[in-house]
Structure 1
Amino acid sequence: MTVLALMLITSVLIVKSCAFKATLSQGDDPAMYTHESITLNGVDRAAAKFLTSTGQFNTTKTDHDDIVREYFGTDTKGYHEYQNRAHQFATAVMNVYKVQKNNPDYTVNSERIRDADAVVKSTRLEIAAILSEGRLSDASVGQLIDKVGTCLMVLQSFYSNTNWVEMMVNGGESFLNFGTLTPFNLSVAESGTDTCRNCDDRFANGCKNNLLVHDRLTSGYLYGQLYYPKPVANPRATEGKCSHGGPDDTGKNNTATGGINKETPDWTRSPHAHLHNMAGLTAVRATESFFMDKVTGLLKDVSRDVVQEIFKLNRTERQVPYLGLALDISASMVTDISSLKHEIVGILSAVMGTDNAPGKYVLSTFAGQANLTNVVTTTDPNEFIRLLNGLTFVPKTSCPTYVMSGIRAAIKACTPHSTVYVATDVDAKDNNLMSTVMEEATEKHISLKFLLTGSCS
Structure 2
Amino acid sequence: MTLEEAYAEYYGSSASPRPFLHSLTTIVDATAEADAGVLGADPRYHFGNERFSESQEVLAGRWRRAMAAGTAGNQAATRHLLGLSLAAIQDFYSHTNWVELGNPTFNRDVGITGKDFFNVAGPRENTCSDCPEGADGEGSCRDNLLQEMVGGGTLTSGYSGEAIVNGQKVGKPRGVDKCSHGGPRDGSRVEGARGGINKDLPTACFSPHHHLHQQAAEMAVEASEYYLNLVRGSLGDASFLRLLALPPTSPAIVLVVDTTDSMGSQLEALRHSLARLAEGYDSLTHPPSQYILVPFNDPLYGPAIVSDRPHQLQQTLNQLRATGGGDEAEPVLSALSLALHHAPPQARLYLFTDATIKDPELYEAVLTLALEKDIMITPFITRPPHLGGIRGRFDLSEDMEEEEEEGNVPAEEEEEKVDEWSWGMPDLHNNTAGWNGAPNRNLRDPRAQMDRNRRQVDRSKRQVDSLSQYTQMAWRTGGQLVEATRDNLEEVTRILETGHYPQAVLWREGDIVSERRLQFPVDSLVGELTVALTGRLNTATLTSPSDTTFDLLAQTTTTDDKGFTVQVFTPYYVQVLISLQERGASEYGEWTLRVVPSVPPVNVLVTATTSLDLLPTLYTPDHSASQPSLQRVQGQAGIGRDTYLDLVLTGVDTAGLRRVEEGRLLGSSGSSSSIGSGGGGGGSQDSSILSLPTVSPRRNTYIRLPSRTLPSHPFSVAVEGVDGRGHRFRRESSGSGWESGDAHVSFPLGRDIWGPPGAQLRVPVTVYSSASFTTPVTLFLSAHDALGIPVTLDKQRVTLGRNESVTVVATVSLDPQMSPSTQPTTTLTVTATPTQGRTARSLAYVSATPRITDLTPPTCEVVSKTSCANHQTPDTCSILRWTADLRFTDYETGIFSVNSVPKYDFPLFNTGQQVVRMSYLASCCDPKATITVRDAANNIAVCDIDNGGVAEVSKLSTGAIAGISVGVIVLVILLALLALILLRRHRRSRKESVTEVRRRRRMSVE
So what's the TM-score if we normalise by structure 1?
A: 0.51
Does residue 121 in structure 1 map to residue 60 in structure 2? yes
Q: Which residue of 1 aligns with 2:51?
A: 112
For the Cα contact (< 8 Å) 2:139–2:204, is it kept in 1? Answer: yes
Structure 1 window deviating more from structure 2 (90-99 vs 63-72): it is 63-72
Q: Which residue of 2 aligns with 1:306?
A: 239
**Aligned 1:142-157 pairs, distance under 5 A:** 142-157=76-91
For the Cα contact (< 8 Å) 1:189–1:217, is it kept in 2? Answer: yes
Amino acid at match of 1:280: A
Rate the CA distance shift 1:222–1:75 in 2: closer, same or farther, 3 A: same
Q: Could you say what secondary structure the match of 2:203 adopts? A: coil
CA distance in 1, matches of 2:81, 2:52: 19
CA distance in 1, matches of 2:963, 2:41: 52
Determine what percentage of the aligned residue pairs are the same residue.
27
Report the CA distance between 1:182 and its aligned residue: 3.7
Q: Which residue of 1 aligns with 2:198?
A: 261
Of residues 13, 18, 31, the one that matches 1:93 is 31
Report the CA distance between 1:443 and its aligned residue: 6.4
Of residues 55, 77, 81, the one that matches 2:19 is 81
Number of residue pairs matched by the alignment: 252
Of residues 3, 6, 9, the one that matches 1:70 is 9
Amino acid at match of 1:199: C
Amino acid at match of 1:142: A
Q: Which residue of 2 aligns with 1:281?
A: 218
Rate the CA distance shift 1:302–1:246 in 2: closer, same or farther, 3 A: same
CA distance in 2, matches of 1:169, 1:312: 35
CA distance in 1, matches of 2:960, 2:199: 42
Q: Which residue of 1 aligns with 2:174?
A: 232
Does residue 163 in structure 1 map to residue 101 in structure 2? no
For the Cα contact (< 8 Å) 2:9–2:958, is it kept in 1? Answer: no
CA distance in 2, matches of 1:439, 1:124: 36
After superposition, the C-alpha distances for 1:353-388 in whole angstroms (9 at most, x for unaligned) are xxxxxxxxxxxxxxxxxxxxxxxxxx99xxxxxxxx
Q: Which residue of 2 aligns with 1:210?
A: 144
Structure 1 residues not aligned, in runs of 5+ = 1-60, 235-239, 320-378, 381-437, 447-457
Amino acid at match of 2:195: G
Report the CA distance between 1:316 and its aligned residue: 3.8
Q: Could you say what secondary structure the match of 2:231 adopts? A: coil
For the Cα contact (< 8 Å) 1:161–1:220, is it kept in 2? Answer: yes
Rate the CA distance shift 1:81–1:208 in 2: closer, same or farther, 3 A: same
The structure richer in strand per residue is: 2
CA distance in 1, matches of 2:41, 2:181: 13
Report the CA distance between 1:209 and its aligned residue: 0.8
Rate the CA distance shift 1:444–1:197 in 2: closer, same or farther, 3 A: closer
Rate the CA distance shift 1:76–1:257 in 2: closer, same or farther, 3 A: same
CA distance in 2, matches of 1:105, 1:439: 44
Amino acid at match of 2:231: L
Q: Which residue of 2 aligns with 1:404?
A: none
CA distance in 1, matches of 2:199, 2:143: 14
Rate the CA distance shift 1:444–1:114 in 2: closer, same or farther, 3 A: closer
Q: Which residue of 2 aligns with 1:22?
A: none
Report the CA distance between 1:181 and its aligned residue: 1.5
Of residues 287, 290, 298, the one that matches 2:227 is 290
Amino acid at match of 1:176: R
Report the CA distance between 1:441 and its aligned residue: 7.1
Q: Which residue of 1 aligns with 2:112?
A: 180
Report the CA distance between 1:130 and its aligned residue: 2.0
Amino acid at match of 2:89: L
Does residue 102 in structure 1 map to residue 102 in structure 2? no
Amino acid at match of 1:102: A
The list of structure 1 runs, each at least 4 consecutive aligned residues, that deviate by more than 6 angstroms after superposition, is 438-441
Report the CA distance between 1:131 and its aligned residue: 3.2
For the Cα contact (< 8 Å) 2:140–2:210, is it kept in 1? Answer: no
CA distance in 2, matches of 1:249, 1:440: 46
For the Cα contact (< 8 Å) 2:20–2:246, is it kept in 1? Answer: yes
CA distance in 1, matches of 2:18, 2:68: 29
CA distance in 1, matches of 2:957, 2:112: 41
For the Cα contact (< 8 Å) 1:205–1:272, is it kept in 2? Answer: no
Rate the CA distance shift 1:445–1:229 in 2: closer, same or farther, 3 A: closer
For the Cα contact (< 8 Å) 2:93–2:217, is it kept in 1? Answer: yes
CA distance in 2, matches of 1:440, 1:130: 35
CA distance in 2, matches of 1:76, 1:108: 40
CA distance in 2, matches of 1:440, 1:216: 44
For the Cα contact (< 8 Å) 1:200–1:206, is it kept in 2? Answer: no
CA distance in 2, matches of 1:166, 1:95: 28
For the Cα contact (< 8 Å) 2:94–2:199, is it kept in 1? Answer: yes
Of residues 236, 244, 247, the one that matches 2:181 is 244
Amino acid at match of 1:286: A
Amino acid at match of 1:211: L
Q: Could you say what secondary structure the match of 1:197 adopts? A: coil
Report the CA distance between 1:185 and its aligned residue: 4.2
Q: Which residue of 2 aligns with 1:131?
A: 70
CA distance in 2, matches of 1:440, 1:85: 24
Alpha-carbon RMSD across the aligned residues, in angstroms, is 2.9
Q: Could you say what secondary structure the match of 1:267 adopts? A: coil
Q: Which residue of 2 aligns with 1:347?
A: none
Report the CA distance between 1:86 and its aligned residue: 0.6
Report the CA distance between 1:66 and its aligned residue: 5.0
Q: Could you say what secondary structure the match of 1:147 adopts? A: helix
For the Cα contact (< 8 Å) 1:221–1:228, is it kept in 2? Answer: no
The structure richer in helix per residue is: 1
Rate the CA distance shift 1:259–1:442 in 2: closer, same or farther, 3 A: closer
CA distance in 2, matches of 1:441, 1:220: 46
So what's the TM-score if we normalise by structure 2?
A: 0.24
Rate the CA distance shift 1:441–1:266 in 2: closer, same or farther, 3 A: closer
CA distance in 1, matches of 2:52, 2:211: 23
After superposition, the C-alpha distances for 1:26-66 in whole angstroms (9 at most, x for unaligned) are xxxxxxxxxxxxxxxxxxxxxxxxxxxxxxxxxxx8x8775
For the Cα contact (< 8 Å) 1:208–1:271, is it kept in 2? Answer: yes
After superposition, the C-alpha distances for 1:373-415 in whole angstroms (9 at most, x for unaligned) are xxxxxx99xxxxxxxxxxxxxxxxxxxxxxxxxxxxxxxxxxx
Report the CA distance between 1:205 and its aligned residue: 7.2
